[in-house]
Amino acid sequence: MVDTPNLIPKHEILSESEAKKVSKKYNISLDKFPRILETDVQAVKLKAKPGDLIAVSRIDPTGSYVYYRLVVKD
């Protein structure tokens, strides 16, 4: 059996206070963040609802980073 790395980055819902901190840090309102549909597989898995901000943690050969997606209705 061949092991395959997990190709899906870690997704997590931020609390309301964490989302406000991220919004303030980047000086951007929540509605300006890139979007993810509430029907996206990862959003469904997290039981995310419209208005939630999801942090996506990626690791690649150049390093690790976090980017954010706002959950919206489809």
- Give 5-11 contacts, CB < 8 A, sequence gap 24+: 8/42, 9/56, 9/57, 9/58, 9/59, 10/56, 10/57, 11/42, 11/43, 11/45, 11/46, 11/54, 11/55, 11/56, 11/57
How high is the pLDDT of residue 74?
86
Architecture of domain 10-72: Alpha-Beta Complex (3.90)
pLDDT in tens, 12-50: 999 999 999 999 999 999 999 999 999 999 999 999 999
pTM of the model: 0.86
Q: Where are the domains of the chain?
A: 10-72
The pLDDT-based confidence of 6 (bands split at 50, 70, 90) is low
